[in-house]
Amino acid sequence: MKKMLFLSFVLSPLALFANGDVQTDILPRTVNFLIFTAIIYYLLADKLKEFFTGRTASIQAELDEVQATLEESEKKVQDAKAELEKAKAVAIELVSDAQGDIDSIKNKISTTCDNDIAYLEKSFNEKIELEAKKANKAIVNEVLEELFNNSDVTMSQENLSKVILKKAA
């Protein structure tokens, strides 16, 4: 069928441009061309088929290789996405743990500071009381020294205690 179509295509110029008056050798040339084409086809057909079959096979092999590389790349992308999701989950967990640790540390520091402030206030109040007692003792000692050293003053036990109480108050 293909040969008939080819022949009709090749011979159609003969019918179209044929002129009854002109003597040409187109018909023998066409026959020679067809014979030449048939011989070339006979000699080269197997080699052309092998070439194109080999070429098709090499293109298919390259396509398969590219397809395998593409599938491998897609797998790596999926693995990377999975690892990214795991990393995000770990990061969220770390942030949550860090927030808990921050709250715990804040509470410990706050408690420690409150305890230190209470201790310092207690210590300050104790020192104030101690200094007040020292001052009272010093005043009492001073008054007693004056009284004992001063021979002009003669006092009774009752007056002496009133004076000490006034100085201490």
Least confident segment among 3-7, 9-13, 94-98, 142-146:
9-13
How large is the average pLDDT for residues 139-161? Answer: 71
The CA-based diameter of the chain, rounded to the nearest angstrom, is 182
What's the pTM?
A: 0.41
User: How much is the mean pLDDT over the chain?
Assistant: 84
User: Is pLDDT of 60 > 60?
Assistant: yes
User: Is pLDDT of 129 > 80?
Assistant: yes
Domain ranges within the chain, ordered by starting residue: 2-168
The angle formed by the CA atoms of residues 41, 46 and 47, to the nearest 5 degrees, is 95
Percent residues over pLDDT 90 in the chain: 50
Cα-to-chain-centroid distance, residue 32: 77
User: Is pLDDT of 83 > 70?
Assistant: yes
Distance CA 74, CA 68 (A): 10
Distance CA 6, CA 12 (A): 10
